[in-house]
């Protein structure tokens, strides 16, 4: 049976990172992430325009945790509680023992292996605690950095869907990567 219960909130740790619950005090960093053109380049969602939008985003994340519909962690470095990114399990399908993983990181932390470290811990939680059988990641085929991070984390390419999403007046391709729980 899939175990989808995020109360009490599960904090996670890796060698360099602390993954914790997002709080209202993260509003400036969430705003920085979700209003950054570079960060949002491959994410077909509207950029946040105000601090209010960023607070709403945090509230939405909280509501999903409360309802056991999804879970997001604030990615922080162990020696600094400041949010540098977000990672989580979205679109959980308990009947299929599957969830989708998603993540974003402030540009100044790109290329340091942080996302790979966070993905591995989030996947471990998905398999060991949530009892998922598979985890997928849906990315823009042009997002080569994300693709590399997934490959380094043991994900394999499952599909390339042609123009299957419509966003801001154009059709976009998506690539699905996945990892199976083989234990």
Set out the domains of the chain in order of their start, with CATH numbers: 12-132 (3.40.630.30)
**pLDDT per residue over 28-59, tens digit each?**
999 999 999 989 999 988 899 999 999 999 99
Length of the chain: 183
**pLDDT per residue over 119-161, tens digit each?**
999 999 999 999 999 999 999 999 999 999 999 999 999 999 9
Half-sphere exposure of 178 (CA within 13 A, CB side): 16
Cis peptide before 8 (omega within 30 of 0): yes
Query: pTM value?
Result: 0.95
Distance, in Å, from the CA atom of 57 to the CA atom of 90, rounded to the nearest integer, reads 14
pLDDT at res. 183: 76
pLDDT at res. 36: 92
């Amino acid at each position: 049976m899939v175990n989808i219960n995020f109360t009490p909130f599960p904090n996670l740790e890796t060698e360099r990172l602390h993954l914790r619950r997002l709080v209202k005090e993260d509003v400036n960093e969430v705003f920085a992430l979700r209003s950054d053109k570079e960060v949002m380049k491959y994410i077909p969602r509207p950029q946040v325009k105000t601090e209010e939008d960023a607070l709403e985003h945090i509230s939405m994340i909280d509501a999903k945790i409360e309802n056991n519909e999804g879970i997001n962690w604030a990615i922080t470095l162990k020696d600094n509680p400041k949010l540098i990114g977000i990672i989580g399990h979205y679109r959980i399908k308990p009947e299929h023992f599957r969830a989708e993983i998603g993540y974003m990181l402030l540009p100044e932390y790109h290329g340091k292996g942080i996302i790979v470290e966070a993905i591995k811990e989030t996947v471990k939680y998905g398999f060991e605690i949530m009892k998922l059988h598979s985890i997928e990641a849906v990315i823009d085929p042009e997002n080569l950095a994300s693709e590399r991070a997934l490959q380094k984390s043991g994900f394999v390419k499952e599909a390339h869907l042609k123009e299957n999403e419509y966003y801001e007046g154009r059709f976009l391709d998506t690539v699905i990567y996945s990892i199976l729980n083989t234990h």
